[in-house]
Amino acid sequence: MRNLKFVSAAFLAGLSAPAMADEVQVAVASNFAKPVERIAAEFNKDTGHKTAVSLGATGKFYAQIRNGAPFEVLLAADDETPLKMSKEGMTVPGTEFTYAIGKLALWSAKPGVVDSQGDVLRKGAFQRVALANPKLAPYGLAGEEVMKKLGVFDAIQPKLVLGENITQTWQFVGTGNAELGFVALSQVAKDGKVAEGSAWIVPQNLYSPIRQDAVLLAKGKGKAAAEQFLKYLKSDKAKGIIRGYGYELP
């Protein structure tokens, strides 16, 4: 009888282990695509959970979540959207925090197009400039703010090509559909250096801080995987990955 009890206990334990693993649905601002890929992989490995990542514009995620999208965690590209969602009862109160502070870059896929001071904007020797839709993407709004502070927005506006999100904006430049564009530094740099092409890392005094907040959504309340993912985002391992892609930490 003792042997039978031992076998039964071991069998039940074997069943309970995978039952504890769960999948978390995470909506992630496009600029954070590369870091979240690595963070999710480490999270899955360390916890046994699975992470389903959806990338897009923060403004679009707001509309989707409001209309019932099954996301449990939001990694926004700003701090205003999570606050707004909290006021509208779409999040778990008190769970929002800044996970990264983004940096903006003016980038061209070709060497020598963008100078280190951004004077190319004043010279205007280009046909198209890519910009994420300022109404949907905080990085697009930041790019618009930079051009206005430099006094070049009115001249450049007819040449703007708007991307739905920062990934599409990066693609416009990468494929040559636009000679240059405002992108997230994390998209074109590793360890603080631009990997290819040419870029101007825009001084942060030219645009409002891009504080990117994470929050537990209402559908994630009581879900272990969702709660653990947010906790993992604060870990030293995750912070190291975030820094490696050119973000600052609060």
Give the chain's domain count. 2
> Both 127 and 142 in a single domain?
yes
Q: Cα separation of 36 and 24, whole Å?
A: 13
> Both 125 and 184 in a single domain?
yes
Q: What is the pLDDT of residues 4-15, one digit of tens each?
A: 343 333 333 333
Domain span at residue 226 reads 2-101+210-244
Q: What is the pLDDT of residues 87-101, one digit of tens each?
A: 999 999 999 999 999
Q: What is the pLDDT of residues 201-239, one digit of tens each?
A: 999 999 999 999 999 999 999 999 999 999 999 999 999
Q: What is the pTM of this model?
A: 0.81
Per-residue pLDDT averaged across 52-79, rounded?
96
Residue entry with tokens 């205007």: 124
Q: What is the pLDDT of residues 156-189, one digit of tens each?
A: 999 999 999 899 999 999 999 999 999 999 999 8
CATH of residue 156:
3.40.190.10
Radius of gyration of the chain (CA): 21
> Both 96 and 112 in a single domain?
no
Domain membership flag for residue 250:
no
> Both 91 and 215 in a single domain?
yes
Domain membership flag for residue 79:
yes
Helix 33-47 vs helix 236-244: angle between axes, to the nearest 10 degrees?
Answer: 160
Domain membership flag for residue 249:
no
Give burial (CB, 10 Å; 0-12/13-18/19+) of 162: middle
Q: Cα separation of 54 and 29, whole Å?
A: 8
> Both 34 and 158 in a single domain?
no
Give the Å distances, CA to CA, from 44 to 36, 90, 97, 149, 230.
12, 26, 22, 43, 13
Paired residues of 50 in beta bridges: 23
